[in-house]
């Protein structure tokens, strides 16, 4: 039998708290990017009329490499520093600001829970795990 049940319980609880407070990329962050960002920030693709659509601001959020590389301004994701990460600062601006993401009326602003998950993910190191990227069909539906 364990001689220190209280200490063991406390340790177990603190361990659980540590794991549950860090946002999980695939479960918590990727769905935000897929739903609210990738319509404009994904790999170049051809529309049905044959035009090539390029990622806005040269920023691709649909692949791990794209997230690491960032957009034309750089510093898209600065691991462990959400305050320096454009991907976070631009979703937390005033909604009427020109730089606010997603642009007004194009996708819903991030909810408080989504902002929290995004911040935690960046401050926790911004790892993308075994995610290989998200692909879309010609209609823009996720495959």
Question: Site residues (CB under 6 A) for ligand HEC?
Answer: 36-37, 39-41, 56-57, 59, 70-73, 76, 86-87, 90-91, 99, 101-103, 106-107, 110
Its sign, for the CA torsion 96, 102, 108, 110, is negative
Which has the closest alpha carbon to 41: 66, 61, 25, 22?
A: 61
Cβ proximity to ligand HEC, 21 vs 72, nearer residue? 72
CB closest to ligand HEC, residue no: 71
CB of 30 to ligand HEC, least distance (A): 12
Task: Tell me how far CA of residue 86 lies from CA of 8, 51, 133, in angstroms.
Answer: 42, 29, 20
The answer to whether the CB of 12 falls within 8 A of the CB of 107 is no
Which residue has 């790999």 as its token pair? 43
Cβ proximity to ligand HEC, 8 vs 47, nearer residue? 47
Cβ proximity to ligand HEC, 40 vs 122, nearer residue? 40
CB of 94 to ligand HEC, least distance (A): 14
């Amino acid at each position: 039998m364990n001689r220190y049940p209280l200490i063991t319980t406390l340790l177990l609880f603190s361990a659980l708290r540590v794991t549950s407070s860090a946002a999980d990329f695939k479960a918590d962050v990727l769905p935000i990017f897929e739903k609210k960002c990738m319509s404009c920030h994904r790999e170049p693709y051809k529309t049905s009329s044959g035009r090539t659509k390029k990622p806005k601001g040269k920023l691709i959020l649909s692949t791990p490499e794209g997230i690491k590389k960032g957009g034309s301004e750089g510093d898209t994701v600065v691991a462990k520093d959400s305050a320096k990460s454009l991907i976070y600062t631009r979703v937390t601006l005033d909604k009427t600001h020109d730089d606010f993401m997603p642009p007004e009326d194009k996708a819903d602003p991030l909810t408080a829970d989504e902002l929290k998950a995004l911040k935690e993910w960046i401050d926790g190191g911004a790892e993308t795990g075994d995610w290989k990227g998200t692909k879309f069909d010609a209609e823009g539906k996720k495959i």
